[in-house]
Structure 1
Amino acid sequence: MSFKFESLLIWQKAMDLGEVVNSMTLKFPDREKFNLSSQMSRAADSVALNISEGSIGQSGPEYRKFMGYAIRSLAETVTCLYKADRREYITKSEFSAVYDASFNLMNMMTAFKNKIK
């Protein structure tokens, strides 16, 4: 038995992204604990949370709305990623890996949202 959203590749990738971002933010300076670390982790987690919330018994327009929230949360995550890079909290390799995963997920989520009727 499983929920419908568990079979969605976008949800699975969003879950993975949330874990990678969480691990990354644990290495930020202590002064960022309630600032960028928290914001970035919450934004990344919000992607999967909105995908799942929108999939449960929602009509097309309502589901599209939640996918819009998920897309905006991913954009927020990427902006936080840039902040972490500029502040030199992460390596260029970490930036590239998360950026590429985010870019691919954004394309998948946008295509998925556009197919919801």
Structure 2
Amino acid sequence: MRSPINCADQLRRSSKAICANLAEGFAKQPHSKAEFARFISMAMGSCSEVETWISYASDLEYISKTQLDRWQQFYSHIYGMLVNLRAALK
């Protein structure tokens, strides 16, 4: 079983990966919009990973139901923004 510390670490890493992928993809945008779209897709994958870790933390009772709902809503909103950003590149 994972400890709360490991779960928190995975949450931090996957949430940071969202920003890192957007930054790296944006830097490549002048050369290739397709490459930027690929990095947005990777950010979407990281966002989905965050949602998985949030559910896992809730299942193990590391976070409350209220916190779960709040974070799920927040990351669903971020995921939707990433979908819209990727669509805007086409």
C-alpha distance in 1 between matches for 2:77 and 2:43: 14
Q: Which amino acid aligns with 2:8?
A: S
1:31 paired with 2:8, answer no
Q: For 1:31 and 1:82, how far apart are their aligned partners in 2?
A: 15
The equivalences for 1:48-87 within 5 A come to 48-58=19-29, 59-87=32-60
Cα distance change of structure 1 residues 83 and 38 upon mapping to structure 2, 3 Å threshold = same
TM-score, normalisation: structure 2 = 0.89
Gaps of 5+ in 1: 1-29
For residue 93 of structure 1, report the CA deviation from its aligned partner.
1.1
1:18 is matched with which residue? none
Large movers: runs of 4+ above 4 Å = none
Q: Which runs of 5+ in 2 are unaligned?
A: none
- The residue aligned with 2:73 is 100
Q: What number of residue pairs does the alignment pair up?
A: 87
Shift of 1:38: 1.6
* CA distance in structure 1 between the partners assigned to 2:3 and 2:55 by the alignment: 18
TM-score normalized with structure 1 length: 0.69
Instruction: Please say if residues 24 and 39 of structure 2, whose CA atoms lie closer than 8 Å, have aligned partners that are also in contact.
Output: yes
**Aligned residue in 1 for 2:63:** 90
Q: How large is the RMSD of aligned CA atoms in angstroms? A: 1.5
Equivalent pairs: percent with the same residue?
24
